[in-house]
Structure 1
Amino acid sequence: MTQRLDIETFKTVVASTPLVSIDLIVRNNANQVLLGYRTNRPALGYWFVPGGRICKDETFNDAFQRLTHIELGEKIDIGQAEFIGPYQHLYQDNFSGTTFSTHYVVLGYQLSIDLELSELPQEQHNNYKWWDIEELLNCHQVHRNTKAYFSDSYK
């Protein structure tokens, strides 16, 4: 069973250590990528792939199932995805403001699934869109950490 830290303890953790997370590179049958418009920090106001932190004592598969349920609306087993590699995301702000930075060590996983955009959860993103790769690479509102999954020049 995963546990959430109280907000003050979590602030100390974010200010002091890297967080480990999973990002979901979701492709549909047209090979477009799912991005959501972020409603919270970090990456507030940018288009970004779904994903989230791995909690303490949570296995990769348990985290993957929890995150796909929260972010995509259905539990998906990690065995249905392809690991595409580790990434690092560095932000000048954090979930609570701008007084300290956020550092993520991200495990990128790619999966193919067709989803109905209107049925996706709204907790982390208030809008969703399927993007062609070329389109997202050329859009200034797509965060550079998302672009890194599709172009070596953004890593």
Structure 2
Amino acid sequence: MAKIRKAPKKDYDNFRKYFAFACVDLVILDGKSVLLTKRTRNPYKGYWHLPGSMIHKTETMHEAAKRSAKEELNLKIKITKLVGVYESLDGFRHDVSHGFLVQVIGGKIKTDFQSSDIGFFKTLPKKTLPHHRLVIRDALKAKP
């Protein structure tokens, strides 16, 4: 995997005014419960969401999913299935997200600076990202 460079904030803020972001979202299930983290950053600060990340220029979707699991959760994962492609359009940013059903194969779960809380939920919290509700619904249907 090539070295990933973060865009300077000024470039990121300018880009998000005009273009959509390609992202990955990870669905980690424990039975019928799904792992969610509580966001500390915009968009949707204070909402529960699936772990995930933007796809960087030098990586594939699968590499982005694995990087995100490691950075955000300290987990090593195996991608089980592409659940679907979803859009989130709001005033802050436009995301085109690839939802993956994944299996944990290593690591001890912990969050990073992007999350203030973490948990497995059978019933989704009221403040869950709207498009993540759809990803979770479809992942539960697709689960082997």
Do the structures match in fold with TM over 0.5? Answer: yes
Q: Secondary structure at the match of 1:2?
A: coil
State the one-letter code of the partner of 1:6.
P
Cα offset for 1:91?
A: 2.0
Output one character per residue of 1:16-40: Cα deviation in whole Å (capped at 9) or x when no partner.
1000000001112x23100111111
Match of 1:130 in 2: 120
RMSD: 2.2
**Equivalent pairs: percent with the same residue?**
24
Matches of 1:151 and 1:60, distance apart in 2:
21
Whichever structure has more strand as a proportion of its residues is 2
Match of 2:81 in 1: 82
Matches of 2:127 and 2:106, distance apart in 1:
22
Kindly indicate whether the alpha-carbon contact (under 8 Å) linking 1:27 and 1:113 is maintained by their aligned counterparts in 2.
no
* Aligned residue pairs, count: 136
Match of 2:100 in 1: 109
Match of 2:44 in 1: 43
Cα offset for 1:53?
A: 0.2
Cα offset for 1:111?
A: 1.6
Pair 1:151–1:68, CA change in 2 (3 A): closer
> Please, what TM-score do these two structures have when normalized by structure 2?
0.83
Cα offset for 1:51?
A: 0.4
Unaligned runs of 5+ in 2: 139-144
> Please, what TM-score do these two structures have when normalized by structure 1?
0.78
Matches of 1:75 and 1:122, distance apart in 2:
15
